[in-house]
Amino acid sequence: MPRFIDFLRSDAMWQAQYRDQSLNARKCRAVLARLIQQTESQTFDPNKLQIICTYTPLQALLAYFWASQTGMLAAVVSPRGLAKLIEGLAVETIGQLWVPKGHRLPLEHLPMSVCRIDLSFDDVADAPIPTAAAHAARLVFCTSGTTG
């Protein structure tokens, strides 16, 4: 079964666009390499839900690649859906909340630790595909309930 990380081969030719930004496999590889380097000292419990709060569709795409790469149990959620997600979970099942640098926290009182990550992809150099985790990621898909 293909994983998100499988779309980052050096011959991948896809491109994702949102407003005036575009993302491709080369940029994703570079961001992933940087993320892995920045977060390798921050261990996470693979049995706890890592919540990645993203503010744009391209950040969400990067978050799915990162979760796939690291073998996380992860939910990628918008700031609007964060409270609803947390409300439905037992506190002991939640790991960290990962929030992109440069954004305010979506909630004031959070039952988990907050880690800042750099999801920027302007001016990034190419990097090899980082070694993937030995186990597959488990992704939780959720919406804020406003998508119909």
Q: Residue 62 has what pLDDT?
A: 93
3-state secondary structure of 119: coil
Determine the average pLDDT of the residues in 32-50: 86
pLDDT mean over 100-117:
86
What is this structure's pTM?
0.87
pLDDT band at 61 (very low <50, low <70, confident <90, very high): very high
What does the chain come to in residues? 148
For the chain, the average pLDDT equals 86
Q: Which residues pair with 53 in a beta bridge?
A: 77
| Phi then psi dihedrals of residue 97, to 5 deg | -105, 125
Q: Provide the pLDDT confidence category of residue 36 given band limits of 50, 70 and 90.
A: confident
The beta strands (E) that lie in 5-62 are given as: 15-18, 21-24, 49-53
Short-list 55, 49, 12, 31, CA closest to 120: 31
Beta strands in 3-147, from DSSP E residues, in sequence order:
15-18, 21-24, 49-53, 73-77, 94-100, 114-117, 138-140
